[in-house]
Amino acid sequence: MEEDRHITTSGIRLKPFHGEGAEGTVPDDGGAPAEFPFTRGIYADMYRGRVWTMRQYAGFGTAQETNQRFHYLLEHGQKGLSVAFDLPTQIGFDADHSLAFGEVGKVGVSICSLEDMEVLLEGLPLEQISTSMTINATASVLLCFYLAAAEKRGIPFDALRGTVQNDILKEYIARGTYISPPGPSMRLITDTIAFCKENVPKWNAISISGYHIREAGSTAVQEVGFTLGDGIAYVQAAVDRGLDVDEIGSQISFFFNVHNHFLEEIAKFRAARRLWARIMRERFGAKSDKACMLRFHAQTAGSALTAQQPRNNVVRVAVQAMAAVLGGAQSLHTNSMDEALALPTEKAVRIALRTQEILVEETNLAETVDPCAGSYAIEALTDEIEARAEKIISRIDEMGGMLRAIEKGWVQREVQESAYQAQRAIDDGRSTVVGVNEYATGSEPAIHTLQIRPEVEEEQRARLAALRERRDASAVSERLGALSDAAKGGDNLLPYILDAVRVYTTVGEISDVMRANFGEYREEVEI
């Protein structure tokens, strides 16, 4: 039992001391910060030059309510927006669709049209901040909502900075909020990458997410291997489309989880940076350093939060945030202590934001580039994680690439097995969760949680009905017809989606065109 405490979530055994010449230590070739392969970080001065972006994830209820929360966060020190959308928006259903009933505004904000996006962004300085949108199947539509809203305010596209997640492969692996089969979905992704390259140059057209793979139960090594495997598939699709790897490489970002194993999480980020740099240069022939840099947003682990003794989550989040900073994150979201119970209250989210501000202002973590450089334990873990992740990528290659590995169900089974083993370790006490299977104290005073108003769904449906009444129905029909024709051909779909959005076509109506032309995906795992 005691011996198991010295094994990481990926099964890597930690030695009491990792010194020069110690067994298992690989000579360091990390180079200097901002030098290939970027083990030490992608910028020479890292946080001494610019502190990471504090980007708290927010979205609930109506666009107006979420807009108020965004203003609150910016007033309290947040530097960038991160938008959470409700499930109907994520899977392309309007608020008045029968399958949306009971879900409108629950796990994120309900956005049905450009009108909702205009309200969501009202009064926010879009030219001064960056905006991240966690959206996948409908990423192209929500991006066009954002662009059209900025356009109406006279803000040029090339002044906008932000990210759409736009990572559909991890939906097939871990979350399930997909619409179309992989082939057409990949087309939409490459269309978005190509459109942003030409029209929104400061926008990251895709954020490849390991976060949700880790939340589904993967180990840290699997998170790196599967995430970079997804990245390879996206870059290959873009290259096959004729896009230049050095140009598209600079518009790709990543999104990682930060879990509890402090040393492993720090090393994970360093290993991922180094491995991705080599993939881009050796596999794809990228020549520019910028195209080889793995830039990433990190979020503390939702799966590590406990409903029991929820105030303990403040400590968990602080430790995880520190690992993200020591690992060189470009932006960071810190979860609120109450998120195992509900969407966060203003009080809880303020504490989460203050956690980051304390790290900046009170700890001196931002004063040194790669503070963990030269730690034998960290260096050895970095090497080991990279080597194990490489084996995962090689296995994916042997199966014919990530799409084929997903179709076979191999990736899903690997994640499920890791999740099962992790839960078994908690259940039988080999893995301690304070306040859950150890140090439990029985009943505790309840904490206040955010309640979504029950009227939200009715209000959103009424708002949508009013929009349908006053918009130009013939213009909507014409733009949807043009989009359908383009879907049948080979044109980039983003200009057609943007034209449809401008006349207040809804996310559901545009998604229905995609369903009609591309079909709907149903998982069929090969046994």
| CATH tag, 3-16+44-427 | 3.20.20.240
Residue 524 has pLDDT above 60, yes or no: yes
Nearest Cα to Cα of residue 302 among 360, 223, 226, 217: 217
Classified as helix, coil or strand, 33 is: coil
Give the model's pLDDT for residue 6: 65
- Evaluate whether 330 touches 371 at the Cβ level (below 8 Å): no
Cross-strand partners of 6: none
Which residue blocks in 241-372 are alpha helix, DSSP H?
245-249, 262-278, 289-292, 313-326, 346-362
Give the model's pLDDT for residue 527: 53
Question: How do residues 317-330 score in pLDDT, each as one tens digit?
Answer: 999 999 999 999 99
**What ranges do the domains of the chain cover?**
3-16+44-427, 458-518
Which of the four pLDDT bands, split at 50, 70 and 90, describes residue 14?
Answer: low
Give the model's pLDDT for residue 16: 52
Give the model's pLDDT for residue 445: 79
Give the model's pLDDT for residue 25: 44
- Backbone phi, then psi, for 2, in 5-degree steps? -60, -40
Tell me how far apart the alpha carbons of residues 111 and 342 are, in angstroms, rounded to a whole number. Answer: 20
Kind plus residue range of the DSSP H or E element containing 296? strand 296-300
Cross-strand partners of 254: 208, 296
Over the chain, what is the mean pLDDT?
A: 92
Mean pLDDT of 86-112: 96
Give the model's pLDDT for residue 11: 83
Residues in the chain: 527
Q: Quick one: 260 exposed, middle or buried, by C-beta within 10 A (0-12, 13-18, 19+)?
A: middle
Nearest Cα to Cα of residue 276 among 243, 234, 307, 318: 234
Residue 364 has pLDDT above 50, yes or no: yes
Which of the four pLDDT bands, split at 50, 70 and 90, describes residue 31?
Answer: confident
Nearest Cα to Cα of residue 370 among 53, 26, 41: 41
Question: How do residues 256-288 score in pLDDT, each as one tens digit?
Answer: 999 999 999 999 999 999 999 999 999 999 999
Distances (CA, A) of 484 to 241, 473, 493, 515: 21, 16, 9, 10
Give 446 or 360, the one with higher predicted confidence. Answer: 360
Q: Quick one: 19 exposed, middle or buried, by C-beta within 10 A (0-12, 13-18, 19+)?
A: exposed
Question: How do residues 215-260 score in pLDDT, each as one tens digit?
Answer: 999 999 999 999 999 999 999 999 999 999 999 999 899 999 999 9
- What the block records as the tokens of 292 is 């080889």
Question: How do residues 43-61 score in pLDDT, each as one tens digit?
Answer: 988 998 899 999 888 899 9
Residue type, 37: P
Preceding amide of 37 cis, omega within 30: yes
Distances (CA, A) of 222 to 86, 213, 429: 28, 8, 23
Using the structure block, give the residue that is written with the tokens 């180094």.
Answer: 274
- Evaluate whether 287 touches 295 at the Cβ level (below 8 Å): no
Question: How do residues 469-484 score in pLDDT, each as one tens digit?
Answer: 999 999 999 999 999 9
Give the model's pLDDT for residue 459: 96
Residue 18 has pLDDT above 60, yes or no: no
- Evaluate whether 86 touches 107 at the Cβ level (below 8 Å): yes
Give 527 or 251, the one with higher predicted confidence. Answer: 251
Classified as helix, coil or strand, 340 is: coil
Q: Quick one: 524 exposed, middle or buried, by C-beta within 10 A (0-12, 13-18, 19+)?
A: exposed
Classified as helix, coil or strand, 299 is: strand
Residue 447 has pLDDT above 90, yes or no: no
Tell me how far apart the alpha carbons of residues 23 and 18 are, in angstroms, rounded to a whole number. Answer: 8
Residue 521 has pLDDT above 60, yes or no: yes
Tell me how far apart the alpha carbons of residues 171 and 437 are, in angstroms, rounded to a whole number. Answer: 31
Rg (CA), the chain: 23
Using the structure block, give the residue that is written with the tokens 């990190």.
Answer: 298
DSSP string, 382-394: HHHHHHHHHHHHH
Give the model's pLDDT for residue 525: 57
Distances (CA, A) of 177 to 92, 172, 209: 9, 8, 14
Cross-strand partners of 256: 298
Mean pLDDT of 10-21: 61
Range of lowest pLDDT (100-104, 213-217, 438-442, 496-500): 438-442
Nearest Cα to Cα of residue 231 among 289, 178, 176, 273: 273
Question: How do residues 105-129 score in pLDDT, each as one tens digit?
Answer: 999 999 999 999 999 999 999 999 9
Question: How do residues 324-353 score in pLDDT, each as one tens digit?
Answer: 999 999 999 999 999 999 999 999 999 999
Classified as helix, coil or strand, 37 is: coil
Tell me how far apart the alpha carbons of residues 475 and 503 are, in angstroms, rounded to a whole number. Answer: 7
- What the block records as the tokens of 409 is 């169900």
Question: How do residues 127-159 score in pLDDT, each as one tens digit?
Answer: 999 999 999 999 999 999 999 999 999 999 999
Give the model's pLDDT for residue 368: 84
Give the model's pLDDT for residue 526: 58
Tell me how far apart the alpha carbons of residues 263 and 341 are, in angstroms, rounded to a whole number. Answer: 28
Residue type, 17: F
Tell me how far apart the alpha carbons of residues 306 and 433 are, in angstroms, rounded to a whole number. Answer: 9
- Evaluate whether 461 touches 95 at the Cβ level (below 8 Å): yes
Residue 62 has pLDDT above 70, yes or no: yes
- Kindly list the strands in the beta sheet with 57-58, ordered across the sheet, starting from the edge strand earlier in the chain: 57-58, 80-84, 130-134, 161-164, 203-204
